[in-house]
A and B are shown apart, each in its own frame.
Chain A
């Protein structure tokens, strides 16, 4: 698959702080990519560098085949973005805010109604932005970002602070955009959101790439959950046949893809498990495993 974004050896320093330390990654085109990292990992700096808002110290960025920042003026028309809180003019209606965005970015007004309908704000377009909930403001920002019918959307924490209904509505629209063939890149604090939405995941930490690939590959086949009364003995039996396990109060997590061998080994030693099932990895467990951090 063609890479929509290619970043290599990206470096950015703020004073004594190294925000990006030779970051490399690729974002596949036509998919929704989740961009993950603990606080301070460099996610926003990376987005800002890709969008030309921040000038990196060194490194190469290529977006939709265009070199950044050299070909930024061309790219501006092809990429929509929401970075941080949308700066709406609260005294104006939602519609006028989108008109202002269209005028400012050099787009016509012909797609405004369509975009307001797409984000579900047609009925509220005449209300002042001051009366909008955070979810409505985010959707309005999405409408503005979509005005130029961009090939790619880059959204920094778009689901942050939205209520469940707002998140659901926003997620549905993002999926629709991906189904239309657009490339969407989002960062999020909520790993469950990324797990539910993303096709591809990039994990960075301390300004460097930690992992990247299709979500399914990252999650892997999972582990087996074995519930037994004598956890210590079961662990020894499984270790004897080459299966490593992690014990907790109720049972074992076993690195294996098949439960039949576990059952055979345990019952041969008169250990009868109450439960043996496949437990799929969650993005959270994978993330914590590869970054060693709990605070996104």
Chain B
């Protein structure tokens, strides 16, 4: 608990987090207003059919949009903070020589994941408000459906946080770690639709799987993970998180502080 408290204290005064959360909220708000207020108001768009789902599907569509932003949010948060710590010997001391290395990694992983998770919820709330006011249709997800978003966001946040801390622990460079995470995100989404074997372990596919993206429709063949079972998606997410966690441990162990 003391390590979690320390990590909470450290994150609580970081300007990076409110800035990033503000950016996520702005993005979600902007997209929501664009889709549900501006585009429907344009004369040339009238009658062309809504480009996005009406209520109640609009709410889940928003959650999918938030999940699509997850990689950058969790990765930047994790790499910037852990990378900054590793550049400062006093904290690197604790990370690299302390016998509680696994505890240190787990504390950071937990706090970064929760921080990203809260931001995702905030983004979803903003989207939901805009949708509730401006979207066509009626109805809203059940309480159970809302609650299911909580663990789905936690999984996505955890997987990308683990990738972020793993990359920075290996490279000791925030910029390189972000580049690696960007590369993973890009290649993962590019390769998965075309390579069947890779699709089964793709993080993009697993994310699509738990958010029910691409299961049906004319382009479903190009959206990986649409046919994933929940168990399969969970296993892939957990696998990526464990890989990132393991790489973090190894990265901190193999190099001098």
Contacts and interface: CB of A to CB of B under 8 A. Distances in A.
Contacts of B97: 51-53, 72, 76
Contact of B10 (A52, A73, A89, A141): A89
A76 B99 contact: yes
Interface stretch (A95-103, A261-269, A288-296): A95-103
Interface string B206-249: 00000000000000000000000000000000000000000000
Nearest to A83: B89
Given A73-B98, A99-B9, A103-B2, A87 B90 contact: yes
A52 B98 CA distance: 9
Given A51-B93, A104-B91, A106-B2, A92 B98 contact: no
Contacts of A54: 256-257
Contacts of B10: 89, 100
A52 B97 CA distance: 6
Using C-beta atoms within 8 Å of the partner chain, give the interface range for chain A.
20 to 34
A106 B93 contact: no
Interface residues of B, number: 25
Interface string A51-65: 111110000000000
A246 interface: no
A96 B257 CA distance: 24
B5 to A, nearest CB: 5
Contacts of B104: 104
Nearest to A74: B99
A250 interface: no
B89 A84 contact: yes
B6 interface: yes
Most-contacted residue by chain B among A82, A85, A91, A103 (CB, 10 A): A103
Contact of B90 (A48, A83, A99, A102): A83
B256 A53 contact: yes
B6 A72 contact: no
A53 B93 contact: yes
A72 B96 CA distance: 11
A105 interface: yes
A86 interface: yes
Interface in B1-18: 2-3, 5-6, 9-10, 13-15
Contacts of A48: 256-257
B92 interface: yes
A103 B93 contact: no
Nearest to A96: B9
B13 A92 contact: yes
A112 interface: no
B6 to A, nearest CB: 3
Contacts of B94: 104-105
Given A53-B256, A100-B10, A104-B3, A72 B93 contact: no
Nearest to B98: A76
15 contacts: A51-B93, A52-B96, A52-B97, A73-B99, A76-B98, A81-B93, A82-B90, A83-B89, A87-B88, A100-B10, A101-B90, A103-B3, A104-B91, A106-B3, A106-B98
Given A100-B9, A106-B3, 10 more contacts: A55-B256, A83-B90, A86-B90, A87-B85, A87-B88, A92-B9, A100-B6, A101-B90, A103-B3, A103-B5
